[in-house]
Amino acid sequence: MRRYLPTGHDGGMGRVTCMGLTTLDVVQVVDRLPGPDEKMVASDGWVVFGGPAANAAATSAALGVPTRLVTALGTGPVADLARAGLDAAGVEVVDLAPTVPELLPVSSVLVSGRSRAVVSRNAAGAPDLAEAAALIDPALVDPGAGGDVLLVDGHHLGAAIVLARRARAAGVHVLLDGGSWKPRFEQLLAHVDTAVLSGDLVLPGRARPGSSVEVDALLVAVAELGPRVVARSSGPGPVRVLLGPGVVEELSPERVPAEQVVDTLGAGDVLHGAMAAALAGGAGLLDALAWGMRCATTSVRHRGALTWLA
């Protein structure tokens, strides 16, 4: 399969393992988000697998990098739909809860241009999968011939901590998709090499950062918990990157005119999946992040998190 990676970085032999959440998304496209007690007719809709780790894995696989997804699907028709979709996307699935019935969460998603509303229980109903993660094949996180990458999204946290600890000890690059702060998150951050935070992540007891000075303070605070590099995305705005003590870079994404924005759902997942693929292909951190931003910018011009890949 041809690898679609940054120029000059498509000869690596690495692979990507994504650890985290899979959902089944029921998506409805509407002109605007409805108000209380309001009924509305959608202009479009579809059912597809979702979740940060699953979308990132599908992105990485579509870019030509061998990709595994370690997640919890369970049994039942909902799980079967998600499993079939992941298989069609070329993602190898390792299910940590293969016998648990009706485990996979269903997400209700309303999309209206730049606006969206998502309701899901995420991994809240799942058991602690740390023991299951400890029993899986060590080859999932051992370094291969090139630079392997483990991407964690913070869901199924017990399992994520187990795999991240093993991966980092084995020399595998651990990349965090930091969508929001979760209980015990600091335990995961202790085993992360690079953390890419969303604009929604706020540290406990702190206000949401506004100015670049406040953003940089957030990056420093997260770096003190373990990661060597910390970045923070801000939707269509610039990405601030802390590369080391006092060393901050800023990357600006391509501007997308408002009339070209079709759907921002999953753009962050695309960024992380494409970045992981680029790192596995031998790109440097900033090149990989810029590539992820480029892919995310492309994705918002299309419906859903994955249709741009076609």
Average pLDDT (272-285) is 95
- pLDDT of 3 reads 66
Number of neighbours of residue 296 by Cβ within 10 angstroms? 28
Domain that holds residue 98: 16-33+41-309
- Write the DSSP assignment of 116-151 as a string of letters: EEEE--TTTTSPP-HHHHHTS-GGGTS--SS--EEE
Residue 146 confidence class, pLDDT cut points 50, 70, 90: low
- pLDDT of 145 reads 47
Rounded to two decimals, the pTM is: 0.93
Residue 281 lies in a domain: yes
What CATH number is associated with residue 218? 3.40.1190.20
Average pLDDT (232-237) is 89
User: 45: Cβ–Cβ under 8 A, 6 or more apart, which residues?
Assistant: 26, 27, 28, 29
Tell me: pLDDT of 13 over 70: no
Average pLDDT (135-164) is 84
**At residue 221, what is the residue type?**
A
| Domain count along the chain | 1
Residue identified by tokens 């990458």 is 149
Average pLDDT (153-179) is 94
Residue 69, beta-bridge partner list:
18, 93
Find the Cα–Cα–Cα–Cα dihedral 24, 29, 34, 37, rounded to 10°: -60
- pLDDT of 306 reads 81
CA atoms within 13 A on the CB side of 56: 34
Residue 293 lies in a domain: yes
Residue 144 confidence class, pLDDT cut points 50, 70, 90: low
- pLDDT of 290 reads 96
Residue 6 lies in a domain: no
Question: Are 31 and 113 contacting, i.e. CB atoms less than 8 angstroms apart?
Answer: no
